[in-house]
Amino acid sequence: MSNGHKRKKVAVMFGGRSVEHEISVITGLQLIKALDPIRWDPYPVYIAPSGKWYFGKKLLDKGFYLRMPGSLSEVTEVTLLPKPGVGGLTILENPEEHASPVIPIDIFLPAFHGTYGEDGSIQGLFELADVTYTGCGVLGSILGMSKYHSKKIVEAHGVPVLPCQVVNRESVEADFGKHLTSLRDQIIKRLGNFPLFVKPCNLGSSIGVVRATCEEELDSALLHALKYDVSAMVEPCLDKKLEINVSVLDDPQEPIASVVEIPVSSSGKELTYEDKYLRGGSKKGDDSMQGMAALTRVIDPEDLDPVVKERARSYAVTAFKALNASGVSRIDFMLDTTDGTLYFNEINTIPGSFSFYLWMNSKPPVFYTELLNRIISVAQLKAVRKSSVERQVGFKALKK
């Protein structure tokens, strides 16, 4: 460029070993299209369900994923070594055929959803490799992934939550029939009568979530949730509720909240995977891959009490800070319309579509490209601050 500005190389990472794999692919490809081409040079990095990493421009084509596994031979297998100073992605497949065994990367931008990508696993690798990356660090990712632990943390900071009970898979497997009956009795005694909600503790996208209305359905729901996770969480079901979501964006001074939204399910009940990703924007021939942006929703609803809106936005910022979040997150709440209590439900530390639809409707609006600019800029600032921390004290104790 004439001004001497050199674009930073951004590795946009998606896929992963999670049941939310395809949603991550949608988020990643959508994000790459929105990146500012003047400031950033996107490098698509796909992690297959097998755990292997791949790089190549063909990953930008939606059809590539429908042709797997054969199409994987068209891209290059790479990895990130847990070694500071490497400077990028190490080529694993036929490195001698390349000018350099390392593909230079300036910033890593994870767009994963679910286990091994949103839960602190990949963030730990970024830390070991000492690279700049966007979003939550290890602690924020771990806390955000666990529905139980995130509830307990935000509750300690004054945000209301519904009571819950955690059921671990090993306790059920130990003595299946007898123990399941005992668990059921404990749950009903603590949480009240049916209906109850059962969900995996460490998943999103409404996968494995079941509404149980009787003892038989509770047993079935627990077994269903435990297919997807090693622990499940049971909560009471509000008779009359309204789901309210808010996005929070990191800022060098103070996190800021977006407008609120009310997502709308096709059944008028709880949101499903199909509601979130298979409705709207999925017409034949539509290649927009809207992801969560295609969900039917009411953004900044005029008929919602302004007091409730501001409470949701305030609680969202409190939760974001309490959970040590960074980048952009979406915090989901449930409003009990019988008494007006607003309950924290969960935080999505890497939300589908990065919640850009909430920001473009905020005042002032923040469009997707600018949203990504801010996320990357905050990551760069935090990397600089982290680099100033003293890590070496020398060999002193060994000399004694």
Same domain, 229 and 357: no
Q: What is the pLDDT of residues 155-171, one digit of tens each?
A: 999 999 999 888 888 77
Residue 279 reports pLDDT greater than 60: no
Long-range contacts of 265-273 (CB under 8 A, 24+ apart): 266/296, 269/211, 270/197, 270/206, 270/209, 270/211, 271/206, 271/243, 271/295, 272/206, 272/209, 273/205, 273/206, 273/207
Quote the CA–CA distance of 165 and 172 in Å, as a whole number.
14
- Please state, rounded to an integer, the average pLDDT across all residues of the chain: 87
Residue 390 lies in a domain: no
Q: What is the pLDDT of residue 118?
A: 94
Pairwise CA distance, residues 362 & 355, whole Å:
11
User: Once rounded to an integer, what is the mean pLDDT over residues 377-394?
Assistant: 87
In percent, the amount of the chain with pLDDT more than 90 equals: 62
**Average pLDDT, integer, range 322-331:** 97
Tell me, what's the pLDDT at 289? 53
> Greater confidence, 391 or 45?
45
- Residue 177 pLDDT exceeds 60: no
Interval 61-66 mean pLDDT: 95
Whether 103 shows a pLDDT value over 90: the answer reads yes
**Is residue 210 domain-shared with residue 254, that is, in the same domain?**
no
**Sequence-ordered list of residues with C-beta below 8 angstroms from that of 329, at least 6 positions apart, any chain:** 136, 144, 247, 248, 320, 347, 348, 349, 350, 351, 355
| Same domain assignment for residues 154 and 92 | no
Q: Is residue 2 part of a domain?
A: no
Domain-located, residue 394: no
Which of 328, 329, 335 minimizes the C-alpha distance to 309? 335
Of the candidates 227, 235, 234, 183, the one whose C-alpha atom is nearest the C-alpha of residue 208 is 227
pLDDT attached to residue 190: 81
Q: What is the pLDDT of residue 2?
A: 42
Q: Which residues fall within 8 angstroms of residue 395, CB to CB, at 6 or more apart?
A: none
What pLDDT shows up at residue 393?
Answer: 72
Would you say residue 1 has pLDDT above 50? Answer: no
Per-residue pLDDT, 186: 80
Tell me, yes or no, whether 393 lies in a domain. Answer: no
The mean pLDDT of 44-58, rounded to a whole number, is 97
| 191 in the same domain as 263 | no
Instruction: Name which of 50-54, 88-92, 182-186 the model is least confident about.
Output: 182-186
Predicted pLDDT at 372: 97
Does residue 304 carry a pLDDT above 80?
yes
Question: Would you say residue 139 lies in a domain?
Answer: no
The answer to whether the beta carbons of residues 352 and 373 sit under 8 Å apart is no
Return the CATH number at 105: 3.40.50.20
Task: Say whether both 204 and 349 belong to one domain.
Answer: no
Res 286 pLDDT > 50: no
Mean pLDDT of 25-44: 97
81 and 170 share one domain: no
392 occurs within a structural domain: no
Q: How confident is the model at residue 274 (pLDDT cuts 50, 70, 90)?
A: very low
Q: Regarding predicted confidence, which is higher, 209 or 248?
A: 248
pLDDT value at 385 more than 80: yes
Distances (CA, A) of 280 to 288, 295, 339, 353, 358: 11, 6, 33, 14, 17
Domain end, chosen from 221, 236, 251, is at 236
Last residue of a domain, one of 216, 236, 256: 236
Residue 149, both tokens: 């632990």
Query: What's the CA gap between 10 and 39, in Å, rounded?
Result: 10
For the ranges 64-68, 273-277, 321-325, the lowest mean pLDDT is seen at 273-277
**Residue 282 pLDDT > 70:** no
Which CATH number does the domain housing residue 250 bear? 3.30.470.20
- Average pLDDT estimate for 38-47: 98
In CATH, what number is assigned to the domain containing residue 173? 3.30.1490.20
Handedness of CA 84, 85, 88, 90 (dihedral sign): negative
Q: What is the mean pLDDT of residues 276-304?
A: 60
* Residue 273 sits in the same domain as residue 340: yes
Q: What is the extent of the structural domain holding 62?
A: 8-133
More confident position, 256 or 191: 256
Instruction: Establish if 14 belongs to a structural domain.
Output: yes
Asked whether residue 231 falls in the same domain as residue 263, the answer is: no
Q: 377 and 348 in one domain?
A: yes
Residue 238: count of CB within 10 angstroms of its CB: 17
Rounded mean pLDDT of 85-108? 90
Same domain, 62 and 172: no
Domain-terminating residue out of 213, 236, 259: 236
| pLDDT score for 134 | 98
Q: Does residue 1 form part of some domain? A: no
* Single pTM value for the model: 0.86
Contact (Cβ atoms closer than 8 angstroms) between residue 348 and residue 330? yes
Of 131 and 210, more confident: 131
Q: Within this chain, do residues 307 and 208 fall inside the same structural domain, yes or no? A: no
Nearest residue to 7 (alpha-carbon basis) of 106, 96, 139, 77: 106
Residues 150 and 283 in one domain: yes
Q: Are strands 107-110 and 8-15 parallel, antiparallel or unpaired?
A: parallel
List pLDDT tens digits, range 190-205.
Answer: 887 888 889 888 875 5
Question: How many domains is the chain built from?
Answer: 3
- Residue 94's pLDDT band (cuts 50, 70, 90): confident
